[in-house]
Amino acid sequence: MTRTIVQIGLVVLILAGGLMGMGTLLSFHEPPAQKQIEERKLRVEVIEVHPETLPVLIEGFGTARSRDVVAITPEVAGTVVSIHPHLEVGEVIPAGEVLFEIDPRNYQAALDQAKAQAERAAQGLSLLKQQFAVDRDRLTTAERSLELSNAEFGRVQKLYTENEVGTQAGVERAEMGKNQAQDARDQLRQAVTLYPIRIQEAESALAAAQAGVDVAQANFDRTTVKAPFDARLTMVKLEAGQFAGPGQPVLMLADDSVIELSVPLDSRDVRSWLRFDTEHAPDDNSWFGDLEKVECTIEWTESNEHAAWAGYVHRVEQFDVQSRTVTVAVRAQTGAGANPNNQLPLVDGMFCKVLIPGREMKDVYRLPEWAVDFDGFAYVASGNRLEKRPVEVVRNQGEFAFVSSGLSPGEKVIVTRVMNPLPNTLLEIQQLNSDGTPTDAPEAG
């Protein structure tokens, strides 16, 4: 029993000593300081925006084609007796030079025969008109002879019946002379009456003969075929000595002095931005009023270097209901003076990009395209905090988005690509110049 009490007392003493030691140790130490958690900053680049007035640049694509392509088919049949010495695909034949000639002998003979017939018809008409003048004079004489014959018959008949002077035979002879004069007068009168009809028929015959001459002359001229313009040969199926005739093209010529591209454009771009003369537009509010022939730039898509040519919008070709596109024709002059830098010429077959200046966008803010997300929000640095701002994009062009509302002059828009940042995020801001360089970067040079 005594031993148990002693053990309990020892345990109590040990516990008490431990508690006293712990209290002493605690009195020598301060509690640990609480750790401060700093807000993490989002590092971004910003640009200061200001409203601008900028022209819209409408972009389209098309294939260059020679405006005029002509198939040459012989208009008369015959043997080809000569061809141009450079009658090969790719050669350019100057305007007016002979491309080929068909044997002209038969056509020359037909022309000579037609001319002879026309000359005979002309001579016949001339003689007929002379005879008409003579017969009109003869008719005047016949009229006078008839008057005299009538007077003589009356005088002889009166003498015989009233005065019993003369004989019945004398009266009959006078009557016969009167009848003969009247018959001659009637025949001449009928002939003179028919002369205008005969002359008209002769004139028609002469006109037909002259038309025959024209046909024969045209056929003769068609034996020689000349280049109608400075013609590039794109197809040649002709050799000297072969028989050629109407119906089968033997040459294909292209006029490269004017190149034309058919460029389909989005109908919304056309409606909103293509430049029409609205002051003189049709009263029926048609889309296609007077299209302004604005200058545009044509670029070859396959050129590693910058191959570009000047052109102009010529007309609206068509509206495609299926694709909802409006096709415009763009022309470029490629003749003398059109290639001052001696660069590669714009030629048939090139696939090109066409940049057409449109109407102006007024008071818009230019941002990199990625600065506006798919939901139509831009991110603005408001002080050192991020603000999510809804904006209205009036047009995307190239690498830029043009904003018409939602921003104010002088605001700083974040141009760093960020993914769903939280509003009011603390920012570490790096401001950029308009050329994309930091504002605190040292100047070049």
Closest residue by Cα to residue 128 from 190, 202, 191: 202
Find the radius of gyration of the CA atoms of the chain: 53
Confirm if 399 and 59 have CB atoms less than 8 A apart: no
* Whether residues 89 and 156 fall in one domain: no
Confirm if 153 and 177 have CB atoms less than 8 A apart: yes
Q: In what side-by-side order are the strands of the sheet with 42-48?
A: 385-390, 377-382, 412-414, 42-48, 427-432
pLDDT at 344: 79
Residue 49 lies in a domain: no
* Whether residues 122 and 209 fall in one domain: yes
Considering only the C-alpha atoms of the chain, give the largest distance between any 2 of them, rounded to a whole number of Å: 227
Q: Phi/psi at 23 (nearest 5 deg)? A: -65, -40
Query: Would you give per-residue pLDDT tens digits along the chain (445 residues)?
Result: 566 666 676 666 777 667 676 666 556 555 555 666 678 889 999 999 999 998 899 999 999 999 899 999 999 999 999 999 999 999 999 999 999 999 999 999 999 999 999 999 999 999 989 988 888 888 888 888 888 888 877 887 777 787 777 778 877 787 788 788 888 888 888 888 888 888 899 899 999 999 999 999 999 999 999 999 999 999 999 999 999 999 889 999 999 989 999 999 998 888 888 888 766 555 555 556 678 889 999 999 987 777 789 999 998 999 888 889 999 999 998 754 455 555 678 889 999 999 999 999 999 999 999 999 988 999 999 989 999 999 999 998 888 999 999 999 999 999 999 888 889 999 989 998 876 688 764 443 3
Residue 65 lies in a domain: no
Last residue of a domain, one of 248, 265, 291: 248
* Whether residues 305 and 323 fall in one domain: yes
* Whether residues 280 and 374 fall in one domain: yes
Task: Strands of 84-229 (E only): list them.
Answer: 92-93, 98-102, 224-226
**Cα atoms in the Cβ-side hemisphere of radius 13 Å centred on 330:** 31
Strands 351-368 and 52-72: antiparallel
CATH of the domain at 170: 1.10.287.620
* Whether residues 279 and 427 fall in one domain: yes
Residue 437 lies in a domain: no
Separation in Å, CA 413 to CA 54, 371, 387, 391, 437: 19, 8, 10, 12, 15
* Side chain identity at residue 36, one-letter code: Q
* Whether residues 385 and 320 fall in one domain: yes
Residue 24 lies in a domain: no
* Whether residues 243 and 94 fall in one domain: yes
Closest residue by Cα to residue 371 from 326, 335, 421: 421
Those residues with Cβ within 8 angstroms of residue 133's Cβ, 6 or more apart along the chain or in another chain? none
pLDDT at 444: 38
* Whether residues 231 and 298 fall in one domain: no
Closest residue by Cα to residue 65 from 303, 258, 235, 242: 258
* Whether residues 204 and 323 fall in one domain: no
Residue 15 lies in a domain: no
Last residue of a domain, one of 211, 231, 248: 248
Query: What is the number of domains present in the chain?
Result: 3
Residue 43 lies in a domain: no
Residue 404 lies in a domain: yes
3-state secondary structure of 65: strand
pTM score of the predicted model: 0.64
Residue 231 lies in a domain: yes
pLDDT at 142: 80
C-alpha to C-alpha distance for 226 and 253, rounded to whole angstroms: 11
C-alpha to C-alpha distance for 252 and 87, rounded to whole angstroms: 11
pLDDT at 144: 86
**Rounded (5°) CA angle 238-239-240:** 135
* Whether residues 395 and 306 fall in one domain: yes
Confirm if 331 and 67 have CB atoms less than 8 A apart: yes
* Whether residues 231 and 293 fall in one domain: no
pLDDT at 60: 93
* Whether residues 274 and 392 fall in one domain: yes
Residue 210's domain comprises 106-220
Confirm if 181 and 149 have CB atoms less than 8 A apart: yes
C-alpha to C-alpha distance for 270 and 325, rounded to whole angstroms: 9
